[in-house]
Amino acid sequence: MVILPHHAPHSSSLTILLLITISHSRAFYILAPLVERSRTVLSAVSSDAPPAPSSNRPVVIYEGFWHEAKAMMDARQSSLPWKSQTIPFDLQRKVCTTPAKGKRLETVTVAEVFAYTVPGRIRQARAAVLSTIPEEAPPKVLNFVVFPDSSYDLPIFGADFVSLPGGHLVVLDFQPVSSTSLSVAEKALRDIHAHYTALLPSHGEIPDAARSFFSPYYMFIRVEGDALVETTVLAAFKAYFSAYLDLVEHASPIPVEETSRLLEVQEGHRNYATYRAVNDPARGMLTRMYGRSWTERLIYEVLFEQADRELEDDGGITVEAVRSGGTGG
């Protein structure tokens, strides 16, 4: 995947948010999976190495965060041989133009999606981008999720960023899919979490409705201004991702005779994908811009391809319904 140079006008980001309602008057948006730029759609799919970031300026929010992550992936190419993963051509890129109205300038919103894999170890590491031209128009969003192969009892990596007029929202976590992967996440993140929570402002607790999809050491941050994002938030992101790559690099697959454990992990992946897909509030925004058919295909063919569509309900579903295999109330 290739990121455009900073001066290029075609920056993009795809917002996939998980809406968790706490009451009739309050809701949380938990960012769900990431961002990337390309010289062209085809070069982004075929190329494996982004240009090196400049040391003479801050990392660009947020495409530069992906740039840093991709450089970290490339640095481990010998042990984790990343390969581009095929995405249907018509889902790779989509453009929507909003005409100027009053004081609002014409805005071009570009959606781009990319994916990578490490055969037999990482099922999918996918990037999604939704950003606007002119560049200063919000939101700027980076959604980055890594799904390990279900033959490994590892958590899912989630790093999610959104820049809104009121500031930046950030979520970082190793999201468990089983009891063992929860223990793995806790051990890996305990010290990193303690270090960075002392430096960054918390945005509060994850609501109970989604708690089972998060480790105790998630970071849910709200920051005003760019300075802290370009420094401490970036450092926290890199620390989390480096720790995750360590886990993947040294993990051993689940023994084939441990069938119950294999089934638990497979079910955990399905539950996670289904909950995120069905409760994704970005569906409405994407549908308005790009149409229902394209949006549904994007969600179920790329972003959450393991989701169980039979559980979808117009009113959304609960965690309990996902886990029991019903539609819930």
Per-residue pLDDT reduced to its tens digit, 69-93: 989 999 999 999 999 999 999 998 8
The whole-number pLDDT of residue 310 equals: 66
**What does the domain layout of the chain look like in residue ranges?**
17-259
The whole-number pLDDT of residue 11 equals: 38
CATH architecture of structural domain 17-259:
3-Layer(aba) Sandwich (3.40)
Mean pLDDT value across the chain: 78
Global pTM reads 0.77
CA atoms within 13 A on the CB side of 201: 10
pLDDT at 296 over 50: yes
pLDDT digits (tens, 9 = 90+) for 238-277: 999 999 999 999 999 999 999 999 999 999 999 999 988 8
Residue 281 identity? P
User: Got the DSSP string for 19-32?
Assistant: EEEEETTEEEEEE-
- Provide the total of helices (H) and of strands (E) in the chain, helices listed first: 10, 10
The whole-number pLDDT of residue 250 equals: 96
pLDDT digits (tens, 9 = 90+) for 10-48: 333 333 343 333 333 333 334 443 333 333 332 333 333
Average pLDDT over residues 52-62: 54
| Best CA proximity match to 148, nearest among 13, 229, 59, 269 | 269
Q: Tokens 């008057």 sit at which residue?
A: 25
Q: How many residues does the chain have?
A: 329
Regarding beta strands 140-148 and 107-118, do their DSSP bridges make them parallel or antiparallel, or are they unpaired?
Answer: unpaired
> Quick check: 236 and 209 in contact, CB under 8 A?
no
pLDDT digits (tens, 9 = 90+) for 104-117: 788 887 888 888 99
pLDDT at 214 over 80: yes
- Close Cβ partners of 236 (under 8 Å, ≥ 6 residues apart): 172, 192, 196, 199, 200, 219
Buried-state track 118-134, b at ≥16 Cβ within 10 A, e below 16:
beebbbbbbbbbbbbbe
The whole-number pLDDT of residue 318 equals: 44
Rounded to 5°, angle at Cα 165 from 164 and 169: 35
- Close Cβ partners of 242 (under 8 Å, ≥ 6 residues apart): 72
Strand partners of residue 173 = 158
Strand partners of residue 170 = 161, 221
